[in-house]
């Protein structure tokens, strides 16, 4: 992994792809004029960077950009067809609704735009649970939100959770956990009590994609931030 000026951390780069580790606290793209985003840092030394994956500003982890329009189209299709494997890790509050180590699958209808949902201490209701694999919008315009999840370790009032979403809805993981009464640590918007700086305890750990030119499967990875291990030592003891 390579550091270059102004904090851009590169996990992988070739003629077609750029994979970076985004720190919590800055957006992937679309920052207000004069403010920093991962995209603006990448564009400083590259003539073309296409945004093909995003994570929320409070979230850390791996993000992939395309360096040609053809690569951008190929990667966008991989995300649309759900051949990309996305692996996240989170630290959550509350009691995860499954036994330790057991994978569960959630398929919910979440709001198309969460808007003000959860702000100001408003209660979050359980999402509508879908039967089958339909991708039709619900009555409020929401679409299916699918994820595999398991709790890896528990320590007091927090748990370490693995998440593998196959869809990419807005705030999907944050909402799916919060509506099950185990919000992500630091995610005050969706009911968390414990603080976490500079963002929330959600990390995009790995992306597995097919290289647009060779077809070789790439496993792009961002290590769990060192600050997590310092903040939650029992969750990472022995790991």
CATH number at residue 41: 3.30.2350.10
Quick one: 53 and 16 in the same domain?
Answer: yes
Q: Is residue 17 part of a domain?
A: yes
In angstroms, the CA 73 to CA 54 distance is 15
Quick one: 126 and 69 in the same domain?
Answer: no
Task: Kindly report, residue by residue over 50-74, the tens digit of the pLDDT.
Answer: 999 999 999 999 999 999 999 999 9
Q: Is residue 227 part of a domain?
A: no
Task: Kindly report, residue by residue over 12-36, the tens digit of the pLDDT.
Answer: 999 999 999 999 999 999 988 888 8
Q: Is residue 199 part of a domain?
A: no
Quick one: 75 and 104 in the same domain?
Answer: no
In angstroms, the CA 12 to CA 164 distance is 21
Quick one: 100 and 185 in the same domain?
Answer: yes
Residue 123 has pLDDT above 50, yes or no: no
Quick one: 73 and 143 in the same domain?
Answer: no
Quick one: 45 and 102 in the same domain?
Answer: no
In angstroms, the CA 49 to CA 148 distance is 31
**Mean per-residue pLDDT over the chain, rounded:** 87
Quick one: 186 and 99 in the same domain?
Answer: yes
- Positive or negative, the Cα torsion across 116, 121, 122, 124? positive
Cα distances (Å, whole numbers) of residue 48 to 20, 45, 70:
15, 9, 12
Q: Which residue has the tokens 């700086």?
A: 197
Closest CA to 145 of 173, 180, 122, 184: 173
Q: Is residue 16 part of a domain?
A: yes
Residues 6+ apart with CB under 8 A from 22: 28, 38, 55, 59, 60, 61, 62, 63, 204, 222
Number of domains making up the chain: 2
Quick one: 108 and 59 in the same domain?
Answer: no
Q: Is residue 236 part of a domain?
A: no
Q: Is residue 111 part of a domain?
A: yes
Q: What is the pTM of this model?
A: 0.88
Asked if 62 and 21 count as a contact pair (C-beta separation under 8 A), the reply is: yes
User: What is the residue range of 45's domain?
Assistant: 2-81+209-219
Quick one: 180 and 92 in the same domain?
Answer: yes
Q: Is residue 225 part of a domain?
A: no
Q: Is residue 224 part of a domain?
A: no
Residues of the chain above pLDDT 90, percent? 74
Quick one: 25 and 95 in the same domain?
Answer: no
Quick one: 101 and 154 in the same domain?
Answer: yes
Asked if 170 and 177 count as a contact pair (C-beta separation under 8 A), the reply is: no
Quick one: 22 and 77 in the same domain?
Answer: yes
Mean pLDDT of 167-195: 95
Task: Kindly report, residue by residue over 214-237, the tens digit of the pLDDT.
Answer: 999 999 999 999 999 999 999 998
């Amino acid at each position: 992994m390579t550091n270059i000026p102004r904090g851009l951390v590169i996990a992988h780069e070739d003629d077609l792809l750029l994979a970076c580790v985004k720190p919590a606290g800055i957006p992937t793209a679309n920052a207000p004029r004069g403010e920093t985003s991962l995209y603006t840092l990448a564009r400083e030394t590259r003539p073309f960077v296409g945004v093909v994956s995003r994570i929320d500003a409070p979230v850390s982890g791996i993000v992939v950009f395309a360096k040609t329009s053809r690569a951008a189209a190929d990667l966008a299709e991989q995300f649309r067809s759900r051949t990309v494997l996305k692996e996240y890790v989170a630290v959550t509050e509350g009691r995860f609704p499954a036994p330790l180590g057991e994978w569960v699958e959630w398929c919910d209808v979440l709001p198309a735009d969460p808007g003000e949902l959860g702000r100001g201490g408003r209660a979050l209701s359980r999402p509508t649970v879908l039967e089958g694999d339909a991708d039709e919008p619900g009555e409020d315009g929401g679409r299916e939100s699918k994820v595999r999840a398991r709790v890896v370790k528990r320590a007091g009032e927090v748990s370490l959770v693995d998440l593998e979403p196959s869809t990419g809805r807005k705030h999907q993981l944050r909402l799916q956990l919060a509506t099950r009464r185990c919000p992500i640590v630091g995610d005050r918007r969706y009911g968390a009590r414990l603080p976490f700086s500079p963002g929330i305890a959600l990390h995009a750990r790995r992306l597995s994609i097919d290289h647009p030119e060779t077809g070789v499967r790439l496993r792009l990875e961002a290590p769990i931030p060192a600050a997590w291990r310092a903040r939650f030592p029992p969750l990472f003891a022995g790991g």
